[in-house]
Amino acid sequence: MNDTSAPLVYLVGAGPGDPELLTLKGLRCLQAAECVIYDSLVNTDLLQYASPNAEWIAVGKRGGNHGFSQEEINALLIQKAREGKVVVRLKGGDPFVFGRGGEEVEALANESIRFEVVPGVTSGYAAPAYAGIPVTHRDFSPSVGFITGHEDPSKEESLIAWDKVATGIGTLVFFMGVANLPEIVRNLTRHGRSPQTPIALIQWGTFPHQEVVSGTLADIVERVQAKGLSAPAITIVGDVVSLRDRLRWFDNRPLSGKRILITRPSHQADAFRQRLLAMGAEVIAFPTITIRDPSSWDALDRAIRRIGAYQWLVFTSANGVEKFLSRYRQLGRDLRDLRGIRVAAIGPATEKALAERGLNVEILAEEFKAEGLLQSLQGKLVKGTRVLIPRAKIARDVLPAGLEQQGAQVEVVEAYQSTPPSEGKKRLEIILNERPLDMIVFTSSSTVTNLVAMADTGALADAVKRCAIAAIGPITKQTAENCGLAVHVQPAQYTIPALVDAIAAFYGK
């Protein structure tokens, strides 16, 4: 994307809020960006796809409150492009549907700066869809119109032909119309639309904290005022609104409206995230550890080269499995050399990682922690049994010490390191300043200590302490409590599915 024939500025539609509505092309542009200039309506979860070395600039346009004027944004795009950076202008919805994208690329064109427009999913039909309102329907409406609810205040006369719009289009979708709702209602009814016409306002459409207020043209202003609804919101007028009660699907799930931060490493977070998303949560993937190669392969290589000397292989994490067997293959070893070596694992995720690579687990901990594995191995090792434990550089010594007490000869080798991500604190500040979190979920002690270190002191630390805390097991819970965090959720079984169920039960109360 950085060759001389490529655009320097990509105007990318981020979609209405749900980060999964970003297009594949938008994702590719974001991954290549050296500078990301984004609006406040953009879901900041999308920033995880940009390079941590990219420059991030929030220009904060929302509902009349402008951190930057449009002219300043135009000038910023020109400046960053002239610096030779690949710039992504990330805009909510679609840039050319009431997004002022035309003005921005016009400014670039006037300066002969190359650009490309990447359309996005507009909130005009996405927000109604997430509210259970189809903007067209064979039995209710054959047409839909997108209309601004906030015209340029410098214009002397409205460009909206209210006499035609009011009754000439089946479904009307007004953008940015909350403040002008009384005027919109007045114009529609004055030009022939029935006061009993259904109407709905959708605030933060497609976000998990989406709010919907429904009524009729006759009573919607009072209903919206009573609810305290404000921008950003979409207004839908027409008989299709009456379908919401039957077709709503998004905002009646167990975790709807809950903003939950998960701290697992990126390569392990997706299944966890998908489970929470399916229950309606807004899930922010914020890895507080990065899995890296060990500081030296020497100890692990020596152990692999004399693998036949061990009677037991003991794995305490899926990361240990992946790193050990990856290195094992790199050294040209054959898995058949592991025949006769017995294998133990700390939990089902570790067992699954081994099974996917062709190894059967003989002993699985009954309680998924070091103490549980130690208990499960009790009586299985005769005196002098040689045990290899490939694990993280920093880990508790409960297991090796306990096995040695049982008479085993234990060798612990570093298979990987878990370190804090380099961009952690910067992104944590963005997340916590955007909107309060409901819950933070920890899946290991290191995820706790790393996040607490990032939060440091002051406002960030206070924001973390105000959240509900979920911990996957007792060791993680103890670490959190030692760091001054009150733990509200801990599942009986120390697995991701059990953790998700426990979070749902907590909010179900």
CATH of the domain at 238: 3.30.950.10
What is the reported pLDDT for 445? 87
Q: Are residues 409 and 432 in the same domain?
A: no
Range of the domain at 241: 125-247
Peptide bond before 232: cis, by omega within 30 degrees of 0? yes
What is the reported pLDDT for 325? 94
Reported confidence tier of residue 506, pLDDT bands at 50, 70, 90: very high
Q: Are residues 409 and 429 in the same domain?
A: no
The residue out of 101, 120, 139 marking a domain boundary is 120
**Has residue 456 got a pLDDT over 80?**
no
Catalytic residue of the set 18, 45, 91, 176: 176
**Has residue 234 got a pLDDT over 70?**
yes
CB contact set of 290 (below 8 Å; sequence gap of 6+): 265, 418, 419, 420, 421
Assigned domain for 399 exists: yes
Q: Are residues 132 and 277 in the same domain?
A: no
Q: Are residues 408 and 443 in the same domain?
A: no
- Number of domains the chain is built from: 4
For the full predicted model, state whether its pTM sits above 0.75.
no
**Has residue 155 got a pLDDT over 90?**
no
Catalytic residue of the set 18, 61, 258, 477: 61
**Has residue 63 got a pLDDT over 70?**
no
Q: Are residues 322 and 415 in the same domain?
A: yes
61 in active site: yes
What is the reported pLDDT for 37? 96
Query: What 3-state DSSP class applies to 331?
Result: coil
Q: Are residues 282 and 340 in the same domain?
A: no
Q: Which residues are bridge partners to 144 per DSSP?
A: 171
Closest CA to 164 of 145, 183, 150: 145
Q: Are residues 475 and 489 in the same domain?
A: yes
Q: Are residues 472 and 491 in the same domain?
A: yes
What is the reported pLDDT for 62? 54
Three-state SS for 405-429 is HCCCEEEEEEEEEEECCCCHHHHHH
Assigned domain for 3 exists: no
What is the reported pLDDT for 395? 81
| 509 class by beta-carbon count within 10 Å (0-12 exposed, 13-18 middle, 19+ buried) | exposed
pLDDT digits (tens, 9 = 90+) for 364-401: 987 777 888 888 898 888 899 999 999 988 888 888 99
What is the rounded radius of gyration, in angstroms, for the C-alpha atoms of the chain? 28
Least confident of 220-224, 344-348, 457-461, 494-498: 457-461
Reported confidence tier of residue 363, pLDDT bands at 50, 70, 90: very high
Q: Are residues 302 and 337 in the same domain?
A: yes
What is the reported pLDDT for 388? 96
Reported confidence tier of residue 5, pLDDT bands at 50, 70, 90: low
39 in active site: yes
Catalytic residue of the set 18, 39, 94, 438: 39
Q: Are residues 26 and 114 in the same domain?
A: yes
Q: Are residues 116 and 234 in the same domain?
A: no
Q: What is the CATH number of the domain that holds 470?
A: 3.40.50.10090
C-beta atoms surrounding 5 within 10 Å: 5
Q: Are residues 88 and 155 in the same domain?
A: no
